[in-house]
Structure 1
Amino acid sequence: MRQRSTTLARPSAVIPLLGSMRGYRPGWLKRDLVGALTITALLIPEGMAYAQLAGAPPQAAFYACPAALVLYALLGSSRQLVVAVSATVAVLSAATVSALAPSGSAHYLALTAGLAILAGLISLLAGVLRLGRIAQFFSPSVLTGFVFGLALVIAMKQVPKLFGLKGAGEGFFEQLWFVLTHLPESHLPTLLVGASCLVLLVVLERISERLPAALVVLVLAILASHLLGLQARRVAVVGNIPAGLAAPRLPDMKWSDVLALLPGACGIALVAFAEAIGPARMLGARHGYTVNANRELIGLGCANMGAGLFQGFSIGCSLSKSAANDQAGARSQVSSLVAAGLTLLVALFFTPLFRALPEATLGVIVVVAVSGMMEVGELRRLFRMRRPDFLVAMAALLGVLVFDVLPGLLLAVGLSLLLTIYRASLPRLSELGRAAGTLDFVDMRHQPSAHPLPGLMVLRPNEGIFFANAESLREEILERIQRSPRPVRTVLLDLEATTDLDVPGADMLADLHEDLETQGVTLLLARALAPTREMMERTGLLEKVGRDHLYPHVLSGVVDYLARYAPYAEEERAFFHDGLHRLETLAEEVEDSMPAEERDQLERMRQKLRQGESVLEEPRDSGPH
């Protein structure tokens, strides 16, 4: 208890930034400043564009991003990850709020801010409750398909802007059909602006990864808009963006609004975490520090709460800005803190410069940014490597396109859970055999040279035993006995993978013992961990199977089995010969340093092996058979 209090009292345990700043070198400051400039150069155009994806005005990005950058830098465990704006999260926000309020209305903006706060609270609570392991239950294959589909939805929302079309409908296919059928009505000046920006942005990104291509295109588009009078030519522009910052306040919402936003908030918290934890761990491994999943939940949660309190919108991790920050040489969270300050300066003094920015330019920036989310290569790899993974990825992709974003997210989460349950429920059994010349028992599928001992079947449930797979494991074990080319006298179950046996699992083992007993087959158990053994005691399983049939090691059970029968097979002769030789060598090496209990166990095993070897030396019964 004292240790826990000491840990919580450490400032670095509450604010990871303090821990990462230990040993900070003056030479790193230059790299962090370059990283900050790079983040800001990417953040300004993308932030304005993603604000529109969320259904908020462009200035909402300047409200949300500084708070998010600062809070994540203080409380997140990654030193290079940039948490500010995310196209995925912005679209999820719009999909949630648009069903509750007219887009652009005061109520819509209040709900958007409230959604960010609610998603942040959920993420913060998950981090405090140490639920960081939920990331491993979100299938990467399903996430690949979901993000790909979401990227298509995001891009399709921007396409009408590039052609100067309005009233494109709601769903992906409805928007696609609208664009295809209204191409003749495209506004030529807008189309030229969009095409020029698209070509220039792609070319600049290919020239140099470190060049802030989006910012360059944004500046050139503003200059062209002024020089060519694009607004007079009916090219849609951003218009007036109020300078300054929004004061922090709680959004005006009712409890009914909170309940209506709750499903979307859960989805945003889950997706934001799933989107961030992979890049965060990758960057941590690259720079030699550990990323804590629970701290990531807390950092993301507080960042979202800050964005909402400052009347912004839901935020998340930006992979492109994180990669650019890392490539710029950033060594700590200082780059995010300085980027927050630079973004504040832009919000206070430079927003009037964006008045003439064409909407088509923002659309192009979004399309190019999300194109990196369309991982065609990863889908091809899934298709080549494992078709079921490819099929669930495509199901998640099509779910987003057909059913829209939130239903698509629910489908993706449902598929991940179903995959987890399905794989856990499969009777994954390994049959173990003795590796030649050793006392090691290994999976015979991976080492074909390993052989079973006659009459003994050694099996290991690889996923552990619990309610979802208990019955299928029992059926599989009985079927293997029936299919065995040799008669089976004894089944030895290696329970090492069963970390926490539940009641249905214990009941299954009791039923299996009875089934085998009726067939004249003995059930032995080995390597039961302490929680598993306690459950076996409470359920009476140990009494049914027999305490003398539970062994600390597989080898102990094998030796005991062989000592009970007259062994004449070649495999058994080799086992005793190799076993005695190996045990004698082991005893000479470590016996003096072993505890008394282990020395006694070693001596008992040697005696059993000698007993078996002495049986081998007895003359065979030459009577009639």
Structure 2
Amino acid sequence: MDNKTNPRPSLLVRYLPILDWLPKYQRTWLRTDLIAGLTVVALLIPEGMAYAQIAGMPPQTAFYAAPIGLLAFAIFGTSRQLVVAVSAVIATMSFATVSLIAAPETPEFILLTAALAILAGVISILAGFLKLGRIAQFFSESVLTGFITGLALVIMVKQVPKLLGIEGGQGNFWERLYEIIIHLPETSLPTLITGVLCLVLLIALEHYFHKIPAALVALVFGILISIIFGLEARGVEIVGEIPAGLAPPKWPAVGLQNWWLLFPGALGLALVNFAEAIGPSRSFAATHKYKMDPNQELIGLGAANFGAGLFQGFPIGSSLSKSAANDRAGAHSQMSAIIAAAVTVIVALFFTQFFYALPEAVLGAIVIVAVSGMVKLGKIKRLSRVRQSDFVLAIVALLAVMTFETLEALLISVIVSLFALVLRTSQPGLAVLGRVPGRLIWNDIRRYPENQTIPGLLMVRPLNVVFFANAEGFREAIITEMTSSPVPIKAVCLDLGATTDLDVPGADMLTELAEDLHRREIRLMLMHVITPVRQMLDKVGAINKIGPENLFIGPPEAVLEYLSSQSDAAGILELLRSGASSAVTLLQAGMSTAPADRQAELAAIVESLEKEIT
């Protein structure tokens, strides 16, 4: 084969991971993948119909969205255990977006929901091709915890009217809670009994028989008692007829204006979807020792949503509960998802009539138990003990979801995350470095008071990246350390090891610092300057101000140069003793550039040190 054609297969494998894992598939995996796929279906079918209602869609749309989502992610995703199908969080965000444009349960609403899934999919796919896989890092985990917890509480309060057989009302968490309270006298006793029985059954199975698919058992139980006791005749709402079959692919013709109206929600949905998926994906990859590509996960999530929308479904996302069940059941590869998709299609084609008598209260109970695991009040409480600022961020996000519309709450959460990031990185943290006794290692003297500093040399390290928001703060912090020193400072050595990038204000600050220190007859030295930082310093003229001779590889070279400039023979000898024989080579290299009147002195130190080593 011509060498020019070799890269093409690797490019295909890169964007179609199924071409990598499928040829390597082992027959011995099929049994556990089959069990895992059936386990996923047992959770997917009852939760899918319930989450479809959360999204404001007919139950059958879960059978349209889930199979294509499972199949698309198996083809394009790299995580072998992650299940991408129906998600309570994504369904809630979908409803919040589309309900601002159209009334729920209308043909327009269904079309717009499908369009939202397609648009969110396109955004995710583009983000993957643009290699924005690190974007989730800008969504603080504390904020995400608060946001998801608040969203779970909103979902739960929306399901309570189904358990009581009363009107649910509209609005935020507090308004819905108020509506529930004032309508309590209208509670339907048969509905309440049905809902409570299913809740008890679900909780008992989850706690004591966690290997049994609790949601599927509750679904069957609900259908049986509905038929046996004639619950429909007693006023209990049931799901009713679910059309059999699958929807054909159809492009949602919603008009350009509606696409623009959907865009903010689609963007937020894509962000939350990825933020929810990336954690479990990394965990599964680490546990099972395979490589996971965040950018390809974005493409996989995008393809799943694009397909779900094209087949008249609703936006979908990763499911932690179904993914965990898939992993526990022994899934070796994405084949378990393909099996789950195939079984779901079979159910959609031949078995939907069995869901006719299913009480709505059962679906409400299934949702409440399913999302209860998303309520992380314990984790939020832990944040209050570990770090107050993270606790405040989580509470702000939680209250925002409970008080405002979901998209407004998401915007607040993102802004709060970015504000917290800027606030933390803008703090001019500065570590004063000292040498570990007897070793050529320097670290923070505040953490290690026994470390030794060199009189007259202030060695400091910024604890954050130096950029426009903290540049002036760093300069002031360095000046403060100088002026508070008990001995006069003759040189400042700045360790830029933590600075992987430098903007113009940061580089200008170092130029101004060099000029300021020069006026005070104090030398500025830099060490651990990586190439991009040095290039920026060159562009703004800082290297000329500082002097190229004042750039050093690390502390030993910088300290040796300082001691040599001060003719501190005793200090040089102590430093070199700490570095053993390698220090002799270091000193010999420095002798060639030393002034003639100091070369003899340095030669004597080398001779003395060599005798001591031997």
- Which TM bucket (shorter chain)? over 0.9
Q: Which amino acid aligns with 1:576?
A: I
Distance change >3 Å, CA 486–CA 43, structure 1 → 2: same
- 1:586 is aligned to 582
* Alpha-carbon distance in structure 2 between the residues aligned to 1:287 and 1:360: 39
Gaps of 5+ in 1: 592-597, 618-625
Distance change >3 Å, CA 147–CA 609, structure 1 → 2: farther
* Alpha-carbon distance in structure 2 between the residues aligned to 1:172 and 1:388: 25
- 1:211 is aligned to 212
Residue 307 (structure 2) pairs with residue 306 (structure 1): yes
Q: Using the TM superposition, give the Cα deviation of residue 118 of structure 1 relative to its aligned residue in structure 2, in angstroms.
A: 0.2
1:186-224 per-residue CA deviation (whole Å, 9 max, x = no partner) reads 111111111011001111111222211100110110011
Contact 1:576–1:609 (8 Å) recurs in 2: no
Q: Using the TM superposition, give the Cα deviation of residue 462 of structure 1 relative to its aligned residue in structure 2, in angstroms.
A: 2.5
Distance change >3 Å, CA 98–CA 3, structure 1 → 2: farther
* Alpha-carbon distance in structure 1 between the residues aligned to 2:126 and 2:487: 56
- 2:573 is aligned to 577
1:392-439 per-residue CA deviation (whole Å, 9 max, x = no partner) reads 100100011111211111111111111111111111221111110012
Residue 108 (structure 2) pairs with residue 107 (structure 1): yes
Superposed, which structure 2 residues align to 1:347-426 within 5 Å? Answer: 347-426=348-427
RMSD over equivalenced CA pairs, Å: 2.3
Structure 1 residues 303-312 or 505-514, which shifts more? 505-514
- 1:486 is aligned to 487
Q: Using the TM superposition, give the Cα deviation of residue 582 of structure 1 relative to its aligned residue in structure 2, in angstroms.
A: 4.7
Q: Using the TM superposition, give the Cα deviation of residue 280 of structure 1 relative to its aligned residue in structure 2, in angstroms.
A: 0.6
* Alpha-carbon distance in structure 2 between the residues aligned to 1:33 and 1:346: 16
* Alpha-carbon distance in structure 2 between the residues aligned to 1:133 and 1:305: 22
* Alpha-carbon distance in structure 2 between the residues aligned to 1:463 and 1:325: 41
* Alpha-carbon distance in structure 1 between the residues aligned to 2:440 and 2:126: 49
Q: Using the TM superposition, give the Cα deviation of residue 503 of structure 1 relative to its aligned residue in structure 2, in angstroms.
A: 1.2
* Alpha-carbon distance in structure 1 between the residues aligned to 2:156 and 2:495: 53
Distance change >3 Å, CA 56–CA 174, structure 1 → 2: same
- 1:243 is aligned to 244
* Alpha-carbon distance in structure 2 between the residues aligned to 1:5 and 1:504: 46
* Alpha-carbon distance in structure 1 between the residues aligned to 2:142 and 2:348: 39
Contact 1:96–1:264 (8 Å) recurs in 2: yes
- 1:443 is aligned to 444
Q: Which amino acid aligns with 1:463?
A: N
Distance change >3 Å, CA 492–CA 133, structure 1 → 2: same
Q: Which amino acid aligns with 2:405?
A: D
Q: Which amino acid aligns with 1:580?
A: L
- 1:335 is aligned to 336
- 1:506 is aligned to 507
Contact 1:83–1:315 (8 Å) recurs in 2: yes
Q: Using the TM superposition, give the Cα deviation of residue 226 of structure 1 relative to its aligned residue in structure 2, in angstroms.
A: 0.7
Contact 1:113–1:309 (8 Å) recurs in 2: yes
- 1:42 is aligned to 43
* Alpha-carbon distance in structure 2 between the residues aligned to 1:341 and 1:600: 73
- 2:347 is aligned to 346
Distance change >3 Å, CA 4–CA 49, structure 1 → 2: farther
- 1:86 is aligned to 87
* Alpha-carbon distance in structure 1 between the residues aligned to 2:62 and 2:590: 69
Q: Using the TM superposition, give the Cα deviation of residue 534 of structure 1 relative to its aligned residue in structure 2, in angstroms.
A: 1.4
- 1:170 is aligned to 171
Contact 1:563–1:609 (8 Å) recurs in 2: no
- 2:278 is aligned to 277
**Secondary structure, aligned partner of 1:320:** helix
- 1:430 is aligned to 431
Q: Which amino acid aligns with 2:548?
A: R
* Alpha-carbon distance in structure 2 between the residues aligned to 1:491 and 1:5: 54
* Alpha-carbon distance in structure 2 between the residues aligned to 1:192 and 1:328: 33
Q: Which amino acid aligns with 1:54?
A: A
1:173-196 per-residue CA deviation (whole Å, 9 max, x = no partner) reads 011011122211111111111101
Contact 2:435–2:443 (8 Å) recurs in 1: yes
1:323-381 per-residue CA deviation (whole Å, 9 max, x = no partner) reads 00000011000000000000000100111110110001000000000000001221121
1:525-551 per-residue CA deviation (whole Å, 9 max, x = no partner) reads 112111111111121111111122222
- 1:545 is aligned to 546
Distance change >3 Å, CA 584–CA 375, structure 1 → 2: closer
* Alpha-carbon distance in structure 2 between the residues aligned to 1:361 and 1:74: 34
Q: Using the TM superposition, give the Cα deviation of residue 499 of structure 1 relative to its aligned residue in structure 2, in angstroms.
A: 1.8
- 1:129 is aligned to 130
**Secondary structure, aligned partner of 2:424:** helix
Contact 1:524–1:549 (8 Å) recurs in 2: yes
Contact 2:134–2:294 (8 Å) recurs in 1: yes
1:120-169 per-residue CA deviation (whole Å, 9 max, x = no partner) reads 00000000000001111111111000000000000011011111111422
**Secondary structure, aligned partner of 2:434:** strand
* Alpha-carbon distance in structure 2 between the residues aligned to 1:511 and 1:123: 44
* Alpha-carbon distance in structure 1 between the residues aligned to 2:227 and 2:418: 53
Q: Using the TM superposition, give the Cα deviation of residue 483 of structure 1 relative to its aligned residue in structure 2, in angstroms.
A: 2.1
- 2:610 is aligned to none
Gaps of 5+ in 2: 608-614
Q: Using the TM superposition, give the Cα deviation of residue 72 of structure 1 relative to its aligned residue in structure 2, in angstroms.
A: 0.2
Contact 1:576–1:613 (8 Å) recurs in 2: no
Contact 1:16–1:77 (8 Å) recurs in 2: yes
Contact 1:439–1:578 (8 Å) recurs in 2: no
* Alpha-carbon distance in structure 1 between the residues aligned to 2:599 and 2:8: 51
Q: Using the TM superposition, give the Cα deviation of residue 271 of structure 1 relative to its aligned residue in structure 2, in angstroms.
A: 0.3
* Alpha-carbon distance in structure 2 between the residues aligned to 1:374 and 1:4: 52
* Alpha-carbon distance in structure 1 between the residues aligned to 2:160 and 2:330: 35
Contact 2:439–2:579 (8 Å) recurs in 1: no
Structure 1 residues 27-36 or 500-509, which shifts more? 500-509
Tell me the TM-score normalised to structure 2 length. 0.94
Structure 1 residues 178-187 or 357-366, which shifts more? 178-187
Q: Using the TM superposition, give the Cα deviation of residue 616 of structure 1 relative to its aligned residue in structure 2, in angstroms.
A: 13
Contact 1:566–1:615 (8 Å) recurs in 2: no
* Alpha-carbon distance in structure 2 between the residues aligned to 1:75 and 1:456: 56
* Alpha-carbon distance in structure 1 between the residues aligned to 2:189 and 2:599: 90
Distance change >3 Å, CA 555–CA 372, structure 1 → 2: same
Contact 1:96–1:406 (8 Å) recurs in 2: yes
Alignment length (residue pairs): 603
Contact 1:430–1:460 (8 Å) recurs in 2: yes
Q: Using the TM superposition, give the Cα deviation of residue 12 of structure 1 relative to its aligned residue in structure 2, in angstroms.
A: 2.1
- 1:595 is aligned to none
- 2:229 is aligned to 228
Superposed, which structure 2 residues align to 1:39-78 within 5 Å? Answer: 39-78=40-79
Q: Which amino acid aligns with 1:398?
A: L
Structure 1 residues 554-563 or 263-272, which shifts more? 554-563
**Secondary structure, aligned partner of 1:231:** coil
**Secondary structure, aligned partner of 1:233:** coil
Tell me the TM-score normalised to structure 1 length. 0.93
Contact 1:433–1:458 (8 Å) recurs in 2: yes
* Alpha-carbon distance in structure 2 between the residues aligned to 1:276 and 1:604: 58
- 1:198 is aligned to 199
* Alpha-carbon distance in structure 1 between the residues aligned to 2:215 and 2:43: 6
* Alpha-carbon distance in structure 1 between the residues aligned to 2:191 and 2:602: 90
Distance change >3 Å, CA 5–CA 610, structure 1 → 2: farther
Contact 1:210–1:327 (8 Å) recurs in 2: no
Q: Which amino acid aligns with 2:310?
A: L
Q: Using the TM superposition, give the Cα deviation of residue 509 of structure 1 relative to its aligned residue in structure 2, in angstroms.
A: 0.7
Q: Which amino acid aligns with 1:176?
A: L
Q: Using the TM superposition, give the Cα deviation of residue 446 of structure 1 relative to its aligned residue in structure 2, in angstroms.
A: 3.1
Q: Which amino acid aligns with 2:315?
A: S
- 1:526 is aligned to 527
Residue 253 (structure 2) pairs with residue 289 (structure 1): no
